[in-house]
């Protein structure tokens, strides 16, 4: 990646596949996501060869193995991105106005099947959104199964990406066309991908 560009330029506004590896950790009862690395995989890596997959299967000793159930996949939401452009919602959530936060919240309620959310509790701008504590979040979001919405918010504030978990039928770990690929990483290193051609999602 290019040293003179910031994380947003390289992950949101750039082209091609980008993977962000993050670390989930808990400090003083608060869950945090730390960005560990930003990777742009080489073209050869994207087009996985069958023999590499077979070699990996042979090397599987069980200690370092990652099964598909322990992998969490996240991808930028194409539909929200289109609405974001149409409504002139800034890419940086810190710059969001109250109306932008409410639009995002209404989208999130549908996307994450959230219940018990009161729109009146979310009458604040993007700067307040990204500075929300876990305690305040839990007061506003009483039911967040598997902490998916909290993880989404952490990815939004740290990476400035409105990310979703793709439906299982849209997930392909191996793909002939790099535009179709969605990669999974172990749960402790959640990967976020930006597709060059997001229309296929």
Domain map (residue ranges) of the chain: 7-200
Cβ proximity of 43 and 178 under 8 Å: yes
Q: Mean pLDDT across the chain, nearest whole number?
A: 70
Model-level pTM greater than 0.85? Answer: no
72-97 per-position pLDDT tens digit = 678 888 899 999 999 999 999 999 99
d(CA 121, CA 124) in angstroms, rounded, equals 8
Phi, psi (deg, nearest 5) at residue 178? -60, -25
137-175 per-position pLDDT tens digit = 999 999 998 889 999 999 999 889 898 887 765 444 433
d(CA 73, CA 61) in angstroms, rounded, equals 24
**Banded model confidence at residue 189, pLDDT cuts 50, 70, 90:** very low
CATH topology of domain 7-200: DNA polymerase; domain 1 (1.10.150)
Q: Choose the weakest-confidence range: 32-46, 47-61, 98-112, 180-194.
A: 180-194
């Amino acid at each position: 990646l290019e040293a003179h560009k910031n994380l947003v330029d390289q992950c949101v506004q750039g082209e091609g596949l980008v993977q962000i590896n993050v670390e989930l950790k808990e400090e003083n009862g608060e869950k945090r996501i730390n960005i560990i690395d930003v990777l742009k995989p080489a073209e050869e890596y994207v087009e996985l060869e069958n023999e590499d997959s077979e070699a990996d299967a042979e090397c599987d000793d069980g200690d370092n193995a990652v099964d598909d159930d322990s992998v969490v996949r996240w991808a930028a939401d194409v539909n929200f991105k289109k609405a974001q452009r149409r409504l002139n919602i800034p890419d940086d959530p810190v710059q969001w106005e109250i109306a932008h936060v409410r639009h995002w919240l209404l989208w999130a309620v549908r996307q994450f099947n959230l219940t018990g959310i009161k729109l009146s509790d979310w009458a604040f701008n993007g700067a307040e959104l990204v500075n929300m504590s876990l305690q305040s979040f839990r007061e506003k979001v009483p039911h967040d199964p598997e902490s998916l919405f909290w993880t989404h918010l952490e990815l939004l504030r740290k990476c400035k990406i409105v990310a979703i978990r793709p439906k299982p039928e849209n997930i392909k770990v191996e793909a002939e066309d790099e535009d179709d690929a969605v990669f999974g990483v172990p749960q402790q290193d959640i990967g976020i991908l930006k597709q060059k051609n997001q229309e296929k999602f």
